[in-house]
Amino acid sequence: MSPRRATLPAESLAQGARLAARDLTLTVGRRTLIAGLQLEFSPGQIWCIAGPNGAGKTTLISTLAGLQPPTQGVVELDGLCLSGWPGSALALRRALMPQAVRDAFSASVFEAVLLGRHPYLAGWGWEQPSDRAAALDALAALGLSELAARDILSLSGGERQRVALAAVLCQQAPLMLLDEPLAHLDLHHQIDCLKLLVQRAAAGCTVIFSCHDLNLARRYASHALLLDGAGVTNAGLVREVLSAANASRAFGYPLMLIESAGHEALVPAH
Amino acid sequence: MSERQVPYSAGTRPGPQDAVRGMTARRACLIWLALAGLALAGLLASLSLGSVAISWADLVHALFRPDGGLDDEIVRSLRLPRAGAGFACGALLSLSGALLQVLLRNPLADPYVLGVSGGAASFALAAMMFMLPWWGVDASAFAGALLAVLFVLGMARREFWRSDPVEASPRLLLTGVVLGTGWMALISLLLTLAPDRGLRGMLFWLSGDLNGAADAWPGLLVLGVVLVPSILAAPQLNVMLRGETVAHALGVPVGPLRLRIYLLASLATAAAVVTAGTIGFVGLVVPHMLRISFGNDQRMLLPASALGGGALVMLADLAARTVVAPAQLPVGVITAITGVPVFLWMLLRRRH
């Protein structure tokens, strides 16, 4: 990865995005996933959303992105309720990487990433040279330059995931929501991806991602939101929230924290 | 900045630069110009060839300085409307196919997949059974198409208006296919009950026939009405191809767009079917041929589909009325017989 590529034009981040959940309640059927969540996500922070399967990570990310309305409460971006944002203006402020993209038609990797520039298109809707440059930068930032001409239907799961991440990066929004960005990636790509998110946060982005690897989250995220799937949430600094006690309770399996050479890891206790 | 281009020029595929540039307005214009040239050549051939061959000089004369002679009459009131109607039908079907393939995110979608043609055909056949005049058949076919659209809208209304990012396409597709199957059963019933002397006309109608096309203007008008909003929506359709969630996140109003595309595609199909019956194959295959050749950017593909489909049906109709002259073949048979091997060749030649 080239750090030079990852720097975005200063103007797109002139103003950091402030996202806030106010009294947010999410239910699915008769199950309450999240009850009365009060939380602010600020520029420079990297939030990891963790929790067992079905705890509502995807539902929460989708709600925070404004794709579905909350059962109760509101989500505010820059002080304005998400339902009051026009879709096109919102797309300039927040980017969302969904969990999986199912493609039915061929397209080159470059074209797929270039779609992230859709909110910037004007006139007849053709890309400007600056849009192409942004897409090439995003490809380079994820080490995908060699694959630019490849057909997306021929990619492996991990490559697809990196293409989706490149498309989100290319959108250059100050709020990034990512649903399981590390899924299907091998370890060194997971770490590359997390380092990229750290760089984005350092450049003033607000980053929120869901993740199953608590140890990687503890290492790279600044904050964490732990869901237990029954309405109870625990939010704060990552090392405090993802403690052995909290994680054991949320995942329903005893975990212990071991230390070696200044590194910590949560491991199953049995 | 200059070294940025270096890694991308070293591709192994032919023309990696094209893939990296994606579609550009310039490239799209060149493709449209080439297809428009093909359509123009098809038009000129359609005007001059036939049971009476008309020379280029006479053709120019008939088009621009008509004096009411026999040649003028053949060109102006027989061949020109028929060629125009053929172009309009092909363009509408091909455009409708391209739109539905995006709407349903399914390469197998064609203009008839959601049952519009079934409704039109059932009503048209019923009108033919009752010996209505041609305008009665046309009006009946249009009413049937409208009814089929209302059925789909009524049953799949949740898919059009829901705001959450759920994949709606499979349910919409299934609703349309099942309703289409119902219409097909009704068509079979009508064919069984129809008196023998009406059967031939009905079968021609079902396989697509431009013989009765008296006027090109309705079709061309609808083509304009459908093409302009489709072109305006093309950048959003590019995003829709990556799925509803991605589209929604990029600021595309997914529900209203889906409804608009469905109505545009249905109107296009209805107009084509009313003009010339159910010409098969064009709407499925022309968009795919263009995709295989030039990529799947909707901004290029939608106008290109209209031009390519129009040219194809116009040329196929020329063949339909000259190959076994003085007898005529249904144009749908020609499009399928020539198109199937060409398409299979293009598909199998591709490496992936």
**B55-89 residue pLDDT tens:** 888 888 888 887 777 888 888 888 899 999 999 99
Instruction: Name the H helices within chain B.
Output: 6-9, 16-21, 25-48, 56-64, 70-73, 80-103, 116-129, 134-155, 157-161, 169-193, 196-207, 217-240, 244-249, 254-276, 282-294, 298-322, 331-349
By residue count, chain B amounts to 352
Amino acid at A69: P
Residue B116 is predicted with a pLDDT of: 87
Test B8 with A108 for CB contact under 8 angstroms: no
Residue A63 has pLDDT above 50, yes or no: yes
More confident residue, B162 or B145: B145
Pairs across A and B, CB distance < 8 A: 128
Residue B352 has pLDDT above 80, yes or no: no
Structure-block tokens of residue B202: 């009905």
Residue B337 is predicted with a pLDDT of: 85
Contacts of A118 (CB under 8 A, 6+ apart): A91, B235, B236, B238, B239, B250, B251, B252
What three-state secondary structure class fits B132?
A: coil
CA atoms within 13 Å, Cβ hemisphere of B159: 21
Q: How far is B147 from chain A (nearest CA, A)?
A: 30
* Average pLDDT across chain B, whole number: 85
Residue A85 is predicted with a pLDDT of: 92
Nearest chain A residue to B24 by CA: give it: A126
Nearest chain B residue to A66 by CA: give it: B249
Select from B177, B238, B205, B236 the least CA-distant residue to B121: B205
Nearest chain B residue to A90 by CA: give it: B251
Peptide bond into B253 cis (omega under 30): no
Phi, psi of B265, rounded to the nearest 5 degrees: -65, -40
Residue A7 is predicted with a pLDDT of: 40
Test A149 with B13 for CB contact under 8 angstroms: yes
Residue A12 is predicted with a pLDDT of: 45
Residue A3 has pLDDT above 60, yes or no: no
Which of B20, B167, B305 to mutate against chain A (most A CBs within 10 Å)? Answer: B20
Test A105 with B241 for CB contact under 8 angstroms: yes
Nearest-Å Rg of the Cα atoms of chain B is 21
Compute the average pLDDT of residues B123-138: 86
By residue count, chain A amounts to 270
Least confident of A153-162, B224-233, B342-351: B342-351
B27 and A CB contact within 8 Å? no
B305 and A CB contact within 8 Å? no
Residue A100 is predicted with a pLDDT of: 83
Nearest chain A residue to B250 by CA: give it: A91
Nearest chain B residue to A89 by CA: give it: B251
Nearest chain A residue to B17 by CA: give it: A149
Residue A112 is predicted with a pLDDT of: 93
Residue B310 has pLDDT above 60, yes or no: yes
Q: Give the rounded percent of residues in chain A with a pLDDT score beyond 70.
A: 95
**B247-302 residue pLDDT tens:** 999 999 988 898 899 899 999 998 998 888 888 889 999 999 999 899 999 999 99
Query: How many CB atoms within 10 Å of residue A144?
Result: 21
Which of A63, A83, A105 to mutate against chain B (most B CBs within 10 Å)? Answer: A105
Q: How far is A83 from chain B (nearest CA, A)?
A: 12
Residue B10 is predicted with a pLDDT of: 36
Select from B257, B272, B258 the least CA-distant residue to B225: B272
Residue A24 is predicted with a pLDDT of: 95
Among all chains, which residue has been given the structure tokens 């007898």? B327
Residue A47 has pLDDT above 80, yes or no: yes
Test B7 with A145 for CB contact under 8 angstroms: yes
Residue A137 has pLDDT above 60, yes or no: yes
What three-state secondary structure class fits A31?
A: strand
CA–CA dist B136, B311 (Å, integer): 29
Test A91 with B23 for CB contact under 8 angstroms: no
A261 and B CB contact within 8 Å? no
Among all chains, which residue has been given the structure tokens 């103003």? A15
Test B250 with A62 for CB contact under 8 angstroms: no
More confident residue, A164 or B197: A164
Residue B15 is predicted with a pLDDT of: 42
For residue A77, CA distances in Å to A17, A21, A35, A67, A153 come to: 7, 9, 20, 13, 35
Long-range contacts of the stretch A117-122 (C-beta < 8 A, 24+): A117/A170, A117/A171, A118/A91, A118/B235, A118/B236, A118/B238, A118/B239, A118/B250, A118/B251, A118/B252, A119/A88, A119/A91, A119/A92, A119/A171, A119/B250, A119/B251, A120/A92, A121/B235
Q: What single DSSP character describes residue B130?
A: T
Residue B120 has pLDDT above 80, yes or no: yes
More confident residue, A85 or B347: A85
- Measure CB to CB from residue A126 to each of B25, B164, B296 and give the nearest one: B25
A130 and B CB contact within 8 Å? no
Which of A71, A92, A108 to mutate against chain B (most B CBs within 10 Å)? Answer: A108
Residue B3 is predicted with a pLDDT of: 37
Which of 173-232 (A) contact B at CB < 8 A?
none
Residue A179 has pLDDT above 90, yes or no: yes
Residue B168 has pLDDT above 70, yes or no: no
Confidence of residue A248 (pLDDT cuts 50, 70, 90): very high
Q: Is A252 left (phi over 0), alpha (psi -120 to 50) or beta?
A: left
Least confident of B116-125, B156-165, B305-314, B327-336: B156-165
Compute the average pLDDT of residues B80-104: 93
Which of 160-179 (A) contact B at CB < 8 A?
167, 171
Which of 63-122 (A) contact B at CB < 8 A?
65, 67-69, 86-92, 94-96, 98, 101-108, 110-112, 114-116, 118-119, 121
Q: Give the rounded percent of residues in chain B with a pLDDT score beyond 70.
A: 89
Q: Is A159 left (phi over 0), alpha (psi -120 to 50) or beta?
A: alpha
B346 and A CB contact within 8 Å? no
Q: How far is B258 from chain A (nearest CA, A)?
A: 16
A133 and B CB contact within 8 Å? yes
Q: How far is A49 from chain B (nearest CA, A)?
A: 19
Provide the whole-model pTM.
Answer: 0.88
Strand A94-97 with A46-50, pairing: unpaired
Contact B208, B277 (CB under 8 A): yes
Residue B336 is predicted with a pLDDT of: 84
Q: What single DSSP character describes residue A153?
A: G
Long-range contacts of the stretch B1-5 (C-beta < 8 A, 24+): B4/A133, B4/A136, B4/A140
Confidence of residue A1 (pLDDT cuts 50, 70, 90): very low
Q: How far is B173 from chain A (nearest CA, A)?
A: 14
* DSSP collapsed to 3 states, A35-102: EEEEEEECCCCEEEEECCCCCCHHHHHHHHCCCCCCCEEEEEECCEEHHHCCHHHHHHHEEEECCCCC
Residue B177 is predicted with a pLDDT of: 87
B195 and A CB contact within 8 Å? no
Contact A202, A225 (CB under 8 A): no
Which of 225-254 (B) contact A at CB < 8 A?
234-236, 238-239, 241-243, 245-246, 248-253
Test B163 with A69 for CB contact under 8 angstroms: yes
Test B22 with A108 for CB contact under 8 angstroms: yes
B26 and A CB contact within 8 Å? no
Nearest chain A residue to B239 by CA: give it: A115
The CA-based angle B344-B38-B318, given to 5 degrees, is: 80
Contact A255, A248 (CB under 8 A): yes
CA–CA dist B95, B282 (Å, integer): 10
- Measure CB to CB from residue A104 to each of B19, B106, B165 and give the nearest one: B106
Residue A203 has pLDDT above 50, yes or no: yes
Number of continuous H segments (helices) and E segments (strands) in chain A: 10, 12
- Find the Cα–Cα–Cα–Cα dihedral B291, B292, B294, B296, rounded to 10°: 30
Nearest chain A residue to B233 by CA: give it: A125
